[in-house]
Amino acid sequence: MTSRNQALFERAQRTIPGGVNSPVRAFRSVGGTPRFIDRAEGARVWDADGKCYIDYVGSWGPAITGHAHPAIIEAVREAALKGLSFGAPTESEVEMAELICEMLPSVEMVRLVSSGTEATMSAIRLARGFTGRDAIIKFEGCYHGHADSLLVKAGSGLLTFGNPSSGGVPEDFAKHTIVLDFNDLEQIEAVFKARGDEIAAIIVEPMAGNMNLIKPNPGFLEGLRRICTEYGTVLIFDEVMTGFRVGPQGVQGLFGITPDLTTLGKVIGGGMPVGAFGGRRDIMEKIAPLGSVYQAGTLSGSPVAVAAGMVSLRLTREAGFYDRLGASTTALVSGLSAAARDAGVVFSADSVGGMFGVYFSDAVPTSFKDVMKSDTEAFNRFFHAMLDEGHYFAPSAFEAGFVSAAHGEAEIAATVAAARRIFASWR
Ligand code: PMP
């Protein structure tokens, strides 16, 4: 087959490691040829062969308003005409900081960066600087970007490739990262009893989205809050994925929990490179130039990226936005579940706001171990069959999926109908 996707993939592999600039894009675990995307609009993407797909990746989360939303494109155009980057403060980044602080009550001060990785890396450094402690706790299967301390038993691409810890991370760094089990509060309490006064931070995806979607058990997040308060440990909610995705105030809003620091990305950039970390004023004041913890960025607060992000955030504030988004996502997962049930396929699914998980297992998982038991062969068959029919899901059994405001009833119905045909053919 000499499709343009295939030709581009072969060409890409000559100059780009694995042919991709981020590993999961390479289709390694599902096999086959990655689709090179030529353009996107609303709920759809078109590949290099001109084939159209209904898209459930949404650029891995940012595209909550649908691709190429006209208001976002217009804001980018207007900002670009005034210059791309100044390396000096701008009014627009002040507005963005004010908007984030207004939308997330736990955030009293915020700093903008250019990616989720920078946000989490900086938040960890800040927590260490603030507490004067070195150790951090993360949970197996949670992914927080690719900073050294956080690439220990991580999720996302590391799970996809079955290699949850990265080469190139010195043991001297990794030893400060204590990896525990998501949803196991007793284990955490035991660790804190033994060495609570050494632990600078707990960083958690409060709804894990990098080992597929796993929700916190009742009391888990509340327990983390209580323990962190008791031991003077900084509680970091990594809401790079869930922020403004699961609801207007992220997971912290759904559960009414106030983390000390929050990391953001994806939706707040509306498709452009923006990340942020923010939270308690007394902690944020430890960042340079006010404090001793250094953090900086040539392109931080890029006026073009901020322009896109502002519109993305404003669109999510329109009346009924999350009601509609949640209804579309629920319709998708209940449609897929019914299709599987009718065909006798072992399958379950779950969702929150505009985020969903599909699992080839008989019950929705609540732990990393549960997720690892799901049938990845069945997922791969599903993935490819759906792709052939024009429905683009994340190319890994360990990633959450995303629905946008541009996914209407017609798109969801088409995807459910395709799944129904595919599951029926498996009988
Ligand atoms: N934290 C979480 C929860 C994420 O899902 C991601 C990316 N998927 C990151 C951090 C890293 O963000 P980025 O890829 O923008 O560096």
> Does ligand 1 lie within 6 Å of residue 177's CB atom?
no
Ligand 1 pocket check for 238: Cβ under 6 Å? yes
For position 171, what pLDDT does the model report? 87
Please state at what angle helix 70-81 crosses helix 303-316, rounded to 10 degrees: 150
pLDDT at residue 70, as a whole number = 98
Give me the phi and psi of 324, to 5 degrees please: -65, -45
The alpha carbon of 232 and the centre of ligand 1 are apart by a number of angstroms equal to 26
CA distances for 359 relative to 101, 147, 340, 347, 349, angstroms: 36, 29, 11, 6, 6
Q: Phi first, then psi: what are they for 87, rounded to 5°?
A: 65, 30
Q: Which atom of ligand 1 is nearest to the CA of 142?
A: 3
CB hemisphere CA count around 289 (13 angstroms): 0
Q: Tell me how long the chain is.
A: 427
CATH topology for 4-68+319-425 is Aspartate Aminotransferase, domain 1 (3.90.1150)
Q: Is the CB of 106 under 6 A from ligand 1?
A: no
114, 151, 210, 237: residue to mutate for ligand 1 pocket, most atoms within 8 A of CB: 210
Mean pLDDT of 160-178: 85
Whole-angstrom distance, CA of residue 209 vs CA of residue 239: 10
pLDDT of 240 strictly over 70: yes
Q: Which amino acids are annotated catalytic? A: 143, 238, 266
- Which band of pLDDT confidence, cut at 50, 70 and 90, is reported for residue 160? confident
Note the pLDDT of residue 156.
Answer: 81
Q: Let me know: does 43 contact 411? Beta carbons within 8 Å.
A: yes
- Mean pLDDT of all residues in 340-346: 98
pLDDT for the residue 1: 53
Provide CB contacts within 8 A for 410, sequence distance 6+.
none
| ipTM surpasses 0.95 | yes
* Mean pLDDT (whole number) for 1-13: 91
C-alpha dist (Å) from residue 230 to 46, 127, 189, 226, 235: 52, 16, 11, 6, 11
Helix (H) or strand (E) holding 92: helix 91-103
In angstroms, rounded to a whole number, what is the distance separating the alpha carbons of residues 390 and 403? 15
Q: What mean pLDDT is predicted for residues 285-295?
A: 98
Single-letter amino acid code for the residue at 35 = R
C-alpha 211 to ligand 1 mean position (Å): 13
The Cα angle at residue 362 between residues 358 and 368, in degrees rounded to 5: 65
Whether residue 143 has its Cβ less than 6 Å from ligand 1: yes
**Which residue has its alpha carbon closest to ligand 1 atom 10?**
144
What number is the average pLDDT over the span 144-155?
91
Pairing relationship of beta strands 44-47 and 52-55 according to DSSP bridges = antiparallel
Task: Give residue-wise pLDDT tens across range 82-124.
Answer: 999 999 999 999 999 999 999 999 999 999 999 999 999 999 9
* Atom number in ligand 1 closest to CA 118: 16
Strands (DSSP E) found in 268-422: 275-279, 348-352, 355-359, 391-392, 401-402
Q: Quick one: residue 145, left, alpha or beta (phi over 0 = left, psi -120 to 50 = alpha)?
A: left
Task: For the domain made up of 70-316, give the CATH fold.
Answer: Aspartate Aminotransferase; domain 2 (3.40.640)
In terms of Cα–Cα distance, which of 316, 347, 380, 418 is closest to 71?
A: 316
Which residue ranges make up each domain of the chain? 4-68+319-425, 70-316
Give residue 239 CA to ligand 1 midpoint distance, Å.
Answer: 9
Ligand 1 binding pocket includes 122 (Cβ within 6 Å): no
Give the predicted TM-score (pTM) of the model: 0.97
**112: its two tokens:** 């903008």
Average pLDDT over residues 20-43: 96
Query: Which residue puts its alpha carbon closest to atom 13 of ligand 1?
Result: 116
Compute the average pLDDT of residues 406-423. Answer: 98
Tokens of 391: 């429905």
| 3-class secondary structure, 7 | helix
Burial of 123 (0-12, 13-18, 19+ CB in 10 A): buried
Say how many C-beta atoms besides its own lie within 10 A of residue 169's C-beta.
Answer: 17
- The answer for residues whose C-beta is within 8 angstroms of residue 55's C-beta and 6 or more apart is 40, 43, 44, 45, 63, 67, 392
**What is the percentage of the chain residues whose pLDDT exceeds 70?**
99
